[in-house]
Amino acid sequence: MTTLTRQDLNFGQVVADILCEFLEVAIHLILYVREVYPSGIFQKRKKYNVPVQMSCHPELNQYIQDTLHCVKPLIEKNEAEKVVVVIMDKEHHPVERFVFEISQPPLLSISSDTLLSHVEQLLRAFILKISVCDAVLNNNPPGNIRVLLQKYTTNTDFPWIVADEQEVHMQEPRLIPLKTMTSDIVKMQLYVEERAQKT
């Protein structure tokens, strides 16, 4: 068994690649399941051996990729705390916040290719949970719903633009845990903060 530290750049890149790829699929699926955009802009694909819906709208895809491009170096350095998908109503107030909390162990115990297949199984479970999350969430209000991707980091020197308070604060949120995973390379938890009164 080989033990690597977080400073091993190549392994940090591998972890960041895995998580960013997963987050991209998860974000697309959240937008589809929660009907943020019309179902016509999504195409069925297969990821982690399960069917998923991915957007084919170039501007939306670019927004998601640009956000993850900013998150990736933070994951590589173990400085990413959370990635949040915020679904807002037409007044730009959050109605749902899908929160991915990410942490990585300081020491990594790597034991062959079985690790990656194990991580893939764990990520597949997240995708399956997202695909049925509408069963535990209330419907979003009709009308102009929009999405905002937020990133949280432990790096205080990172040049962030602070989000408007109305886009962050949610009145009377209800917390709904969806999934947690622990592996040798990452710990991740997904929960939803849902506004009690959406209409």
What CATH number is attached to the domain comprising 66?
A: 3.30.900.10
Separation of alpha carbons 64 and 67, rounded Å:
5
Is residue 41 in some structural domain?
Answer: yes
Tell me the pLDDT of the chain (199 aa) as tens digits. Answer: 455 444 544 677 888 899 999 999 999 999 999 999 999 999 999 999 999 999 999 999 999 999 999 899 988 888 889 999 999 888 888 899 999 999 887 665 555 556 677 888 989 999 999 999 999 998 888 776 778 887 777 766 655 566 666 666 777 889 999 999 888 778 899 999 999 887 6
Q: Which residues contact 51 (CB under 8 A, 6 or more apart)?
A: 44, 45
Q: What is the pLDDT of residue 186?
A: 84
Is residue 36 in some structural domain?
Answer: yes
Q: What is the pLDDT of residue 149?
A: 81
Is residue 183 in some structural domain?
Answer: yes
Is residue 2 in some structural domain?
Answer: no
Model-wide pTM > 0.85: yes
Q: How many domains, in total, are found in the chain? A: 1
Amino acid (1-letter code) at residue 16: A
Q: What is the pLDDT of residue 156?
A: 63
Q: What is the pLDDT of residue 6?
A: 46
Amino acid (1-letter code) at residue 6: R
Total residue count of the chain as it appears in this document: 199
Is residue 182 in some structural domain?
Answer: yes
Range of the domain at 54: 11-155+162-195
Strand 2-5 vs strand 42-47: parallel, antiparallel, or unpaired? unpaired
Q: Name the residue among 93, 112, 128, 106 with its Cα closest to residue 186.
A: 106
Classify each residue of 111-143 as buried b or exposed e, where b means 16 or more C-beta atoms within 10 Å of its C-beta.
eeeeeeeebeebbeebbeebbebeeebeebeee
Q: What is the pLDDT of residue 50?
A: 94
Is the distance from CB of 177 to CB of 189 less than 8 angstroms?
yes
Q: In the chain, what is the straight-line distance between the N-terminal and C-terminal CA atoms, in Å? A: 55
Separation of alpha carbons 151 and 168, rounded Å:
12
Is residue 179 in some structural domain?
Answer: yes
